[in-house]
Structure 1
Amino acid sequence: MTVTVLVVDDDPAFRGVARRMLAAVGLVVIGEAGTAQTAAAVAQELRPDALLVDVGLPDGDGVALAIQLMALPWRPRVLLTSTDPEAVGPRDVARSGALGFLAKQDLPDAQLELLFAAQ
């Protein structure tokens, strides 16, 4: 089964890196967004299975966005990320409903295909 992913980050260079990392493990990036508002709209339109969401967005925070995304009817899987390895704690992750949090520097070593395939 193909897992589709939306990448949400305000840094276009990181979105490109994330796209390549996700594709390398067999995930299909169907879109990108640079703000929380754009991400919410694109998620409604494209209905991704999963989202990689930066915690620090220019128009809001990724934790609040994850809460909003988890309320969507198809309940996409959300993985939070940040350059700051202490950007969110376990309580924030639990409150958001996200799968978890990974610092950006840890993404290359993570088994993203397994995280996003989890139900």
Structure 2
Amino acid sequence: MTSNVLVVDDDPAFRGLARRLLVVFGLGYAGEADSAATALAAAGSLRPDAVLVDVGLPDANGITLAGELTALPWHPRVVLTSSDAEAASAADVRRSGAAAFVPKDQLPNAALRTLLGGSSL
């Protein structure tokens, strides 16, 4: 089964790039959000299997949002990302319940299917 991923980032160009990257990795695209508030609303209506979350959002910290998303009843997998390679520590990832933090410049080389899909394929 292909995981459907919600992309949360305030940069529309990055959201488009992420959508294309997800397709390359064989993951489904559930939708997108440009803020924490719209992410929570979208997650509630779309019920994605996974969420790719930018740490730097205009209305909230993505690490805090990750904790809110992983606490949803269906427990979507969350991967944090940022253009700042030091935006989230290992402790931030653990505390938020996210599966990982991957800097944006490393996303093309990351095991996104495993991280977001929960699969080792």
Structure 2 residues not aligned, in runs of 5+: none
Give the alignment's TM-score, normalised by structure 1. 0.98
How far apart, in 1, do the equivalents of 2:25 and 2:117 lie? 11
Root mean square deviation, CA, Å: 0.9
Q: Is the 8 A contact 2:6 2:33 kept in 1?
A: yes
Q: How does 1:1-119 map to 2 (within 5 A)?
A: 1-118=1-118
How far apart, in 2, do the equivalents of 1:116 and 1:93 lie? 14
Instruction: Tell me the alpha carbon deviations over residues 2-21 of structure 1, each in whole angstroms, 9 at most, x when there is no partner.
Output: 11000000000000000000
Letter in 1 for 2:28: V
Instruction: Tell me the alpha carbon deviations over residues 49-100 of structure 1, each in whole angstroms, 9 at most, x when there is no partner.
Output: 0000000000001000001001100000000000000001011000000001
| Paired positions, count | 119
After TM superposition, the runs of 4+ consecutive aligned structure 1 residues lying more than 4 A away are none
Letter in 2 for 1:92: D
Structure 1 residues not aligned, in runs of 5+: none
% identical aligned pairs: 60
Give the secondary structure class of the aligned counterpart of 1:23: helix
